[in-house]
Amino acid sequence: MRSDGSARSASRPCPVTAAREAAVPLYGQSDTPVPHLLDQLRQRFGSLAPVEVAPGVLAWIALSYDLNRAVLQDARAFPRDPRRWKEAKEGRATPDKVPGPFWYFRNALASDEPDHSRYREVIVSALDTIAADRARVTVDMIAHDLMVDPAATGEADLVGDLAFRLPLLLLNRYFGLDDTHGRRLVELMRQVWDGGAEAEAAMGGLFAYAQTVTLERRAAPGQDIVSRMIAHPNGLDDEEVAHQLILMISAAHDPLMNLIANTFHELLTRNSSRVAVMSGNSRIEEVVDAVLWKAPPIMLMPGRYPAEDMELGGWQISEGDCVIIGYGAAHTDPHILAHMDPASSFGSRAHLSFGTGSHQCPARNLARQIAVDAVTTVIRLLPDMALSVPADRLRWRTSPFAHGLEALPVAFTPVQAVPRDTPPSGEQRCPHTPSPSSSPQETTGTWRGIFVMPDRWRESWSRIWRSGR
């Protein structure tokens, strides 16, 4: 709805000034856990709250289930491309102040039509290959092998030992690379997370990983999903392919890590869930669905940028404002909870954790299944595991965007397990790596020497990883 500009509205306080004055800081250290902050915002503002994502940088958070769904499902009124963001156009939001998810990259998630479909179709085709393959077996194998060493000690951190590593090792295999590169990818991600002097170089290394595999597969295609993406009739150029790979790496790593860890958390802290699973009355699938509702891996994510000035949630908002999607807030909306049984461990598939509308997660079923398989494998291997610290001492990440644990320490009876996927030579084998006859030596050779990143890619890459945690 356009502002009418009448004398009556001119006498009212300027809506932009009112929003800026009311905006609540979403940056910096806060003792208030993000779910509580979202509840407070809802109590104070209703279904839409003005926030500052950096000093002086305005955005809005959609807090009700209906408003989030309405915004996500109307791509025409609420486009996705962050280049529309007024705060950036007018110079208040800059990449050094505002984290990566607020910026444009040449990928499906940040694009509107026609680029969105061009990119998304290529990603969907690649994901179909994974789903059609024996992903379940591969997840089981990776999860099992990751737990072999901790299993022998009787202690593990289900975040650091398993959930942090599994998504990247899995994707790396489907990119057609052996586990040496997968472990390098995990190590680079670890350095990025640790921050400090090595983080910037590690960001470059992550981007160079995507760039290198793209260039190598262009030169010598194999059976892997990168080769499929390059060969797709939509004809993505090398930079576009690399950007979709980076999107897949970042989209898979963090939320999948949180979903796996949050599912373990539910099983380890809620006796009724655990008993229901162990007695066969409930399946891991149902626990995962419940977790997707109660502890969504993504709490908030920017954004949508209204195509015109409009009234939304009782506020007058401007064309190009940023509306942050409140996945977590939608699930605690009292109007929705009134129709649900919060004590039930059976999840509602109506959750918004994977989004809805044209950008909804193309890996929805795959991601859910990976979490189910990873959790199942570990429970089979370590059936008596229990938290090794009191539940109230577990630390949740402070990021407003991600909802996950820093660590999930468990103890159990030590188990001597044998790795399932390590050939006797100790050299890692990858079923998806193209055979030497179809691929040059460097496809699986030492890569570090050729991790070179063009300058024009460097800035956009580092923005991706500068998101708050």
Contacts of 107 (CB under 8 A, 6+ apart): 119, 243, 244, 246, 247
Stretch in the footprint of ligand HEM (CB under 6 A) among 26-34, 149-157, 349-357, 377-385: 349-357
Q: Please write down the HEC assignment for all residues of 381-426.
A: HCCCCEECCCHHHCCECCCCCECCECCCEEECCCCCCCCCCCCCCC
DSSP string, 159-192: IIIIITTHHHHHHHHHTT--HHHHHHHHHHHHHH
Distance CA 44, CA 53 (A): 18
Could you tell me the sign of the dihedral formed by the alpha carbons of 30, 34, 35, 41, in that order? positive
Closest approach, Cβ 360 to ligand HEM, in A, equals 6
* 135 binds ligand HEM per the rule CB under 6 A: no
Distance CA 98, CA 54 (A): 6
* 297 binds ligand HEM per the rule CB under 6 A: yes
Stretch in the footprint of ligand HEM (CB under 6 A) among 41-49, 229-237, 295-303, 449-457: 295-303
The C-alpha angle 166, 167, 170, rounded to 5 degrees, equals 80
Nearest C-alpha neighbor of 153 from the set 419, 381, 415, 417: 415
Could you give the 3-state DSSP secondary structure of residue 443? helix
Residues of 166-202 as b/e, b for ≥16 C-beta within 10 angstroms? bbbbbbbbbbbbbbbbbebbbebbebbeeeeeebbeb
The residue within the footprint of ligand HEM, chosen from 362, 400, 404, 434 (CB under 6 A), is 362
Binding mask 64-83 for ligand HEM (x = CB under 6 A): --------x-----------
The residue within the footprint of ligand HEM, chosen from 262, 353, 428, 467 (CB under 6 A), is 353
Between 316 and 351, CB nearer to ligand HEM: 351
Distance CA 177, CA 461 (A): 21
Between 205 and 362, CB nearer to ligand HEM: 362
Stretch in the footprint of ligand HEM (CB under 6 A) among 29-37, 296-304, 337-345, 384-392: 296-304
* 143 binds ligand HEM per the rule CB under 6 A: no
* 361 binds ligand HEM per the rule CB under 6 A: yes
Residue 345: count of CB within 10 angstroms of its CB: 22
* 255 binds ligand HEM per the rule CB under 6 A: yes
* 354 binds ligand HEM per the rule CB under 6 A: yes
Nearest C-alpha neighbor of 281 from the set 345, 351, 342: 345
* 267 binds ligand HEM per the rule CB under 6 A: no
Which amino acid is residue 341, in one-letter code?
D
Specify which residues 72 forms β-bridges with.
Answer: none
* 241 binds ligand HEM per the rule CB under 6 A: no
Binding residue count for ligand HEM, defined by CB under 6 A: 24
Phi, psi of 24 (to 5 degrees): -100, 130
* 49 binds ligand HEM per the rule CB under 6 A: no
Between 37 and 247, CB nearer to ligand HEM: 247
Stretch in the footprint of ligand HEM (CB under 6 A) among 86-94, 132-140, 359-367, 445-453: 359-367
Binding mask 86-115 for ligand HEM (x = CB under 6 A): ----------------------xx------
* 259 binds ligand HEM per the rule CB under 6 A: yes
* 305 binds ligand HEM per the rule CB under 6 A: no
Closest approach, Cβ 143 to ligand HEM, in A, equals 15
* 257 binds ligand HEM per the rule CB under 6 A: no
The residue within the footprint of ligand HEM, chosen from 363, 372, 382, 464 (CB under 6 A), is 363
Stretch in the footprint of ligand HEM (CB under 6 A) among 60-68, 198-206, 220-228, 246-254: 246-254
* 120 binds ligand HEM per the rule CB under 6 A: yes
* 434 binds ligand HEM per the rule CB under 6 A: no
Closest approach, Cβ 189 to ligand HEM, in A, equals 14
Distance CA 23, CA 49 (A): 8
For the record, the structure tokens of 193 come out as: 């997370």
| Sheet of 301-304, strands arranged across | 24-25, 48-54, 57-62, 323-325, 301-304
Give the containing element (helix H, strand E) for 371.
Answer: helix 364-381
* 298 binds ligand HEM per the rule CB under 6 A: yes
DSSP string, 115-140: HHHHHHHHHHHHHHHHHHTTHHHHHH
* 295 binds ligand HEM per the rule CB under 6 A: no
The residue within the footprint of ligand HEM, chosen from 146, 367, 374, 408 (CB under 6 A), is 367
Binding residues (CB under 6 A) for ligand HEM: these are 72, 108-109, 120, 123, 247-248, 251-252, 255-256, 259, 297-298, 301, 353-355, 359-363, 367
